[in-house]
């Protein structure tokens, strides 16, 4: 994998090829190893290397962008020439800002050497653990175990240079009944592959599958719900993009005030709702810089229910007389959290265990996680999607009946307004990839307008 020195040398060389006054280079190199399994056998496995170098050249506000994977001198010279040609043709960008000089990027401690080097011998035993456990119960397992090692370097002609070395891993499994009558899921993202607990993942998915056998058709409607941490994270992470100060000022987010202005400083949620980004949290990888290449720092977006910050990128900060927001990992919280997407988002948890949350509900549903979540209204953040791999009716504080899947139609904004209590927060990764640290939660009036026959 590319070292800091190699990346710096390569970036300097490319910058030296350009005659333009402004030149920004971004280098990424990654190594990924994974094994997929299904029907109690391995289906595919891969070891792949990738690298990419992108060049943004600017003169008099005209910018050309070019990205290549050929890193020999001739190819890089050709790419610089091409970027210069594109810049010459591109209209000037009225929002262009002068490049930043050297920055002091913080260390984010996102790298584990053993995870970054792991190959099949470290991963296949986990796969075997899950498959053997499923076979023992005459069930059928599918899943994925993967690890990634990714290096990112940024540099510009004004002397800015940053280097980030990150690794990550995850294992997920879905265990199904052979006749398709039940399904259970478990997943664990982890900064360290050595922390992946495959026996626990197997037992969780198997137990869900065993308990969800022959789910019953309940009435569609509004329910009190207990969302497991993955389900809560599936929805809460979707709030991130709405903290963009520009979108909010322009009237396009739930934080926009009717008639103009924003809801900054207003209390929208219960006291126990605190939403932060923290690039230094050791549970999940992040990025040392924002999308604007400013050093990241921890930011609180919702503080004890009150809107505490909006994300100003450099341009919007300049237009509005504010300081750019050094957090969120992207130029405007939510427009790219760096490594893995959503990697530094965190919702504070509470003290209740999942069992205690269930015990607090007179009648409601326990939901494992969601699937195929799509935005219906980007302004209110209304989403639709479906429950999956384990839904259970709770009656008088106890799980009584497996329930058929539902479609939901709800905004995470309303969800958090209706939240009554929280469990401890943990790192989660949704089926469609979004990550954050999220707690289990209990919320009332969660709309589930139709039933799904899917198992």
Partner 1 sequence: MLTRRHFLAASAALAGNLFAVPKDSGSPSPDLEKLGDVALREAKKHNATYCDIRIVRLRDQRIGLRLSPERGTGKTLAVPNVSEDSSFGFGVRVIVNGAWGFAASPIVTPAEIARITGEAVTIAKANATIQPKPVILAPVKAYRVRWETPHEQDPFAVPVAEKIDQLRSAAESIKKNARVFSGSAALSLHSEDKYFASSEGSSIQQLILQIYGNLNATAVDREKGISRSRSYQPTQASAGWEYVPEMNLGENAERIREEVVEHLSAPPVRAGKKDLVLLPSHLCLTIHESVAHPTELDRALGYEANYAGTSYITMDKIGTRIASEHCTFIGDRTSRRALGTAGYDDDGVKTTQFTIIDQGIFRNYQTTREQAHLVGDKESHGCCQADSWATVPFQRMPNVWLKAGPAATPLEDLISGIDDGVLIDGTGNYSIDQQRYNFQFGGDAFWEIKGGKKGNMISRAAYQGRTPDFWQACDGTAGPAYWLQFGLTGDAKGEPTQINSISHGCSPSRFRQINVMLTD
287, 329 contact by CB (below 8 A): yes
**Binding to partner 1, residues 161-190 (CB under 8 A):** 172-174, 176, 180, 183, 185
CA distance 156 to 115: 31
384 forms part of the interface with partner 1 (CB under 8 A): yes
CA distance 101 to 398: 59
User: Which residues on adjacent β-strands are paired with residue 59?
Assistant: 62
Nearer to partner 1, 101 or 259 (CB): 259
Nearer to partner 1, 360 or 379 (CB): 379
Furthest CA-CA distance within the chain: 73
Q: Which stretch binds partner 1 (CB under 8 A): 50-58, 223-231, 360-368, 419-427?
A: 50-58
Q: Which stretch binds partner 1 (CB under 8 A): 17-25, 136-144, 233-241, 345-353?
A: 136-144
98 forms part of the interface with partner 1 (CB under 8 A): no
Size of the site for partner 1 (CB under 8 A): 101
CA atoms 423, 425, 427, 431: torsion sign? positive
Name the residue among 197, 169, 195, 232 with its Cα closest to residue 424: 232
Question: Which of 13, 77, 267, 420 is the binder for partner 1 (CB under 8 A)?
Answer: 77
Please, what is the minimum distance in Å from the beta carbon of residue 351 to partner 1?
33
8-state DSSP, 403: B
**Binding to partner 1, residues 410-439 (CB under 8 A):** 411, 431, 433
203 forms part of the interface with partner 1 (CB under 8 A): no
Question: Which of 1, 78, 117, 210 is the binder for partner 1 (CB under 8 A)?
Answer: 78
CA distance 420 to 257: 25
Place of tokens 């640290």: 437
Q: C-alpha 385: how far from its chain's center?
A: 17
CA distance 55 to 80: 7
14 forms part of the interface with partner 1 (CB under 8 A): no
375 forms part of the interface with partner 1 (CB under 8 A): yes
Question: Which of 2, 17, 58, 64 is the binder for partner 1 (CB under 8 A)?
Answer: 64
117 forms part of the interface with partner 1 (CB under 8 A): no
CA distance 83 to 80: 5
Q: Which stretch binds partner 1 (CB under 8 A): 97-105, 244-252, 271-279, 356-364?
A: 244-252
Q: Which stretch binds partner 1 (CB under 8 A): 106-114, 231-239, 350-358, 401-409?
A: 401-409
107, 288 contact by CB (below 8 A): yes
Beta-carbon contacts of residue 179 (< 8 Å; ≥ 6 apart): none
Instruction: Give the CA dihedral 234, 239, 244, 249, nearest 10 degrees.
Output: 150
Question: Which of 363, 377, 398, 400 is the binder for partner 1 (CB under 8 A)?
Answer: 377
Question: Which of 13, 59, 81, 420 is the binder for partner 1 (CB under 8 A)?
Answer: 81
70 forms part of the interface with partner 1 (CB under 8 A): yes
Nearer to partner 1, 58 or 421 (CB): 58
Question: Which of 397, 409, 417, 445 is the binder for partner 1 (CB under 8 A)?
Answer: 409
142 forms part of the interface with partner 1 (CB under 8 A): yes
Question: Which of 149, 164, 388, 429 is the binder for partner 1 (CB under 8 A)?
Answer: 388
| H-helix segments, 3-72 | 4-17
454 forms part of the interface with partner 1 (CB under 8 A): yes
Nearer to partner 1, 109 or 407 (CB): 407
| Count of other CB atoms within 10 angstroms of residue 246 | 18
**Binding to partner 1, residues 251-270 (CB under 8 A):** 251-252, 256-260
* 3-state SS, residue 336: coil
Please, what is the minimum distance in Å from the beta carbon of residue 317 to partner 1?
12
What number of H helices and E strands is found in the chain? 10, 18
């Amino acid at each position: 994998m590319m070292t800091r020195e190699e990346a710096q040398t390569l970036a300097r060389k490319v910058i030296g090829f350009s005659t333009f006054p402004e030149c920004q280079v971004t280098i990424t190199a990654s190594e990924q190893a994974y094994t997929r399994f299904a029907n109690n056998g391995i289906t595919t496995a891969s070891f792949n290397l990738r690298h990419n170098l992108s060049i943004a050249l600017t003169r008099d506000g005209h910018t050309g962008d070019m990205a290549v994977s050929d890193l020999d001198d001739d190819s890089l010279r050709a790419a610089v020439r091409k970027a210069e040609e594109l810049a010459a043709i591109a209209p000037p960008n009225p929002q262009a800002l002068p490049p930043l000089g050297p920055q002091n990027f913080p260390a984010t401690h996102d790298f584990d050497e053993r995870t970054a080097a792991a190959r099949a011998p470290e991963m296949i035993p986990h796969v075997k653990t899950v498959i053997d456990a499923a076979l023992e119960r005459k069930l059928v397992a599918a899943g994925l175990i993967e690890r990634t090692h990714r290096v990112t370097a940024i540099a510009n002609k004004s002397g800015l240079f940053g280097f980030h070395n990150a690794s990550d891993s995850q294992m997920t499994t879905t265990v199904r009944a052979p006749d398709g009558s039940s399904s259970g899921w478990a997943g664990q993202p982890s900064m360290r592959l050595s922390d992946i607990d495959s026996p626990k993942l197997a037992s969780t998915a198997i137990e869900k599958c065993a308990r969800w056998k022959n789910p019953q058709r309940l009435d569609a409607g509004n329910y009190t719900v207990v969302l497991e941490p993955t389900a809560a994270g599936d929805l809460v992470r979707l709030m991130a993009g709405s903290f963009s100060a520009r979108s909010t000022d322009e009237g396009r987010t739930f934080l926009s005030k009717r008639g103009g202005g924003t809801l900054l400083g207003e209390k929208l949620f219960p006291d126990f709702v605190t939403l932060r980004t923290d690039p230094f949290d050791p549970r999940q990888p992040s990025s040392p810089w924002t999308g604007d290449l400013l050093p990241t720092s921890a930011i609180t977006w919702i503080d004890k229910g009150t809107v505490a910050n909006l994300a100003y990128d450099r341009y919007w900060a300049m237009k509005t007389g504010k300081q750019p927001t050094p957090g969120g990992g992207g130029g405007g919280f939510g427009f790219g959290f760096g490594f893995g997407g959503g990697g530094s988002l965190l919702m504070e948890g509470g003290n209740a265990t999942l069992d205690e949350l269930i015990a607090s509900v007179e009648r409601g549903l326990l939901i494992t996680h969601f699937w195929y979540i799509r935005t219906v209204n980007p302004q209110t953040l209304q989403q639709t999607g479906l429950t999956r791999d384990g839904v259970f009716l709770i009656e008088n504080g106890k799980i009584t009946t497996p329930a058929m899947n539902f479609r939901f139609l709800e905004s995470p904004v309303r969800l958090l307004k209706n939240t009554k209590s929280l469990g401890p927060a943990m790192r989660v990764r949704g089926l469609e990839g979004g990550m954050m640290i999220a707690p289990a939660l209990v919320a009332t009036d969660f709309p589930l307008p139709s039933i799904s026959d899917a198992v």
